[in-house]
Amino acid sequence: MYCLAVERITLPELQEMKRQGRKIVAVVAWDVHMAALAERAGADIVSVGDSVGANLWGRSEEAPVSIDEMLLVCKAVRRGVKRALLSCDVPSGVVEHAQRLVQEGGADMVKALASPKTINAMADRGIAVFAEFHGQRPVEEVVAEAKALEEAGAVMLDFRHSGPEAGAAVAKAVSIPVIGGLGGGPWLDGRVRMAHAAIGYAASWVDSTADSYANVAKTTLNALSELVADVRAGRQIRGQRG
């Protein structure tokens, strides 16, 4: 794997980025190669989301991902991450699962959608917690929740569906970094985005006209179509090694 010859990013560095107004970049990846590419591109955080079940494995949104499955993916991504912080989602917000992701999976921090009490229990075990919470409520309510999560020991917040008003208010109200994916924006301390979504890597992207940074699905389809044509025609295939 590609390895940048620099020291690993730390949580204090991310807090300093917030203080300086420098945006934090988190990229969701589920395999060693995508993780290494995200890091090489300059991502500060590589995040292993439990959305792997639906977005990579084709499960329904309701089908849960087990802790053993998350560990398998977390370990794979760990092999591709040398500089960035590695975050792994905790299925069901179970404290023991969080501990396993750190001890067995090699996660630097865990992301959990959980109560302040559970966040505090994780923090008490020395686990760095990236706490997730949702907006779409009165601003004062989300600000109060953000403060409660920070007081419970969260080191970062993933504010989903923030919006410019609530997002800016929360980012100002807490001292820890606040980033977001779905419904986020430049009013937060940074952004998180699935690598697959950023590059258009899904079968559904082949005919998509949505704005993205690439359309890897279409490129892949074209390449595989040429492979099929070469084999059918009895031609030597490209890219053979050895």
Q: Specify the pLDDT at position 241.
A: 66
Higher per-residue confidence, 52 vs 93? 52
Q: Is pLDDT above 50 for 210?
A: yes
Domain boundaries, the chain: 11-199, 200-242
pLDDT at 106: 98
Least confident of 8-22, 138-152, 201-215: 201-215
Tell the CATH topology of 11-199: TIM Barrel (3.20.20)
On whether the CB atoms of residues 159 and 170 are closer than 8 A, the answer is yes
Contact (CB, 8 A) for 171 and 151: no
Q: How many residues does the chain have?
A: 242
Q: Which two tokens stand for residue 6?
A: 């620099």
Q: What is the DSSP string of 79-148?
A: TT-SSSEEEEE-GGG-HHHHHHHHHTT--SEEEE---HHHHHHHHHTT--EEEEEE-SS-HHHHHHHHHH
CA distance to 115, 129, 146, 164, 197, per residue, from 84 (Å): 27, 16, 25, 28, 20
| pLDDT grade for 53, boundaries at 50, 70 and 90 | very high
pLDDT at 115 over 70: yes
pLDDT over 60 at 181, yes or no: yes
Look at residues 124, 81, 132 and name the one whose alpha carbon lies nearest to residue 105. 81
* pLDDT at residue 4 tops 70: no
Angstrom distance (rounded) from CA 184 to CA 14: 18
pTM recorded for the entire structure: 0.92
**Segment 95-122 mean pLDDT:** 97
Q: What is the rounded CA–CA span in Å between residue 144 and residue 63?
A: 31
| Alpha-carbon dihedral 202, 208, 212, 216, rounded to 10 degrees | 40
Provide mean pLDDT across the span 2-22. 84
pLDDT at 169 over 80: yes
With bands split at pLDDT 50, 70 and 90, how would you rate the model's confidence at 211? Answer: confident
Q: From CA 190, how far away is CA 166, in angstroms rounded?
A: 15
Beta-bridged to residue 131, according to DSSP, are: 112, 157
pLDDT at 207: 87
How many CA atoms within 13 Å lie on the side-chain side of 110? Answer: 34
Quick one: pLDDT band at residue 133, thresholds 50, 70, 90?
A: very high
**Please, which pLDDT band fits residue 1 given cuts at 50, 70 and 90?**
very low
pLDDT at residue 2 in the model? 41
What pLDDT is attached to residue 3? 44
57, HSE (Cβ side, Cα atoms, 13 Å): 18
